[in-house]
């Protein structure tokens, strides 16, 4: 994906001397005629995975959101914590393999003992 495709999706307020990052609202100085070096450097330093997010936003014609940058493992951990809180599970219930497997695999598996 070209920088010229990424920058209009992930930056707003295209002023003559600076642009604002849509993700963190940080103003990045970059003259309009000077290319995209500072803008892409900002994305590389602060928003890993920005290429995938820009491609998804272009494909779905949507605005970027900070939640698009959440690592899958972090989202899974949050999902488990939310499940525990909403179902009011005790931690001994969660550590039981019979309880964990249906949620982890989305189907029941017989566990040999």
Report d(CA 113, CA 22) in Å as an integer: 53
Task: Give pTM, 2 decimals.
Answer: 0.59
> 55 and 98: one domain?
no
Within a domain: residue 82? yes
Residue 62's domain comprises: 3-68
The percent of residues above 90 in pLDDT, for the chain, comes to 4
Reported confidence tier of residue 75, pLDDT bands at 50, 70, 90: confident
Q: What is the pLDDT of residue 32?
A: 74
> 58 and 86: one domain?
no
Within a domain: residue 43? yes
| 20: β partners | 12, 27
3-state secondary structure of 62: coil
pLDDT tens track for 16-67: 888 888 888 889 988 877 888 889 999 999 888 889 889 988 998 888 887 7
Could you give the dihedral angle defined by the CA atoms of residues 98, 104, 110 and 113, in that order, rounded to the nearest 10 degrees? -50
User: What is the secondary structure of 21-61 as a DSSP string?
Assistant: ETTT--EEE--GGG-SHHHHHHHHHH-TTHHHHHHHHHHHT
């Amino acid at each position: 994906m070209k920088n010229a495709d990424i920058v209009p999706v992930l930056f707003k307020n295209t002023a003559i001397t600076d642009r604002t990052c849509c993700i963190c609202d940080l103003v990045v100085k970059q003259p309009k005629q000077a290319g995209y070096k500072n803008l892409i450097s900002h994305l590389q330093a602060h928003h890993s995975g920005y290429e995938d997010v820009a491609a998804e936003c272009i494909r779905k014609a949507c605005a970027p959101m900070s939640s698009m940058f959440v690592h899958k493992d972090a989202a899974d951990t949050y999902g488990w914590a939310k499940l525990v809180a909403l179902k009011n599970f005790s931690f001994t219930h969660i550590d039981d393999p019979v309880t964990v497997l249906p949620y982890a695999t989305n189907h029941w598996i017989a566990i040999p003992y």
